[in-house]
Amino acid sequence: LETLVIDEGFGTLDALGRERMVEAITSVQDDFKRIIVITHLDELKDRFPATIEVTKTPAGSRWGIR
């Protein structure tokens, strides 16, 4: 597989579980061309090398790369 998608895979985890999940993702990163992690948890934003942030505005959703 070239792409791994994790959609809201952190929401039910405690801090230790989130840390282990990030470690697991990091350990398999060389097995995939890209890994897409979708989350609403702000504390995870800086844990990955590239971020696409989607923001809801009155004019509709906007996205930007951080």
Q: pLDDT tens across 1-58, in order?
A: 799 999 999 989 999 999 999 999 999 999 999 999 999 998 998 899 899 999 999 9
The per-residue pLDDT for 14 is 95
- Distance between CA 8 and CA 17 in Å, rounded? 13
Distance spanning both ends of the chain, measured CA to CA: 26
Written as six digits, the tokens of 3 are 């792409």
Tokens read off for 53:
């942030």
Q: What is the pLDDT of residue 64?
A: 94
The secondary structure of residue 59, as a DSSP letter, is T
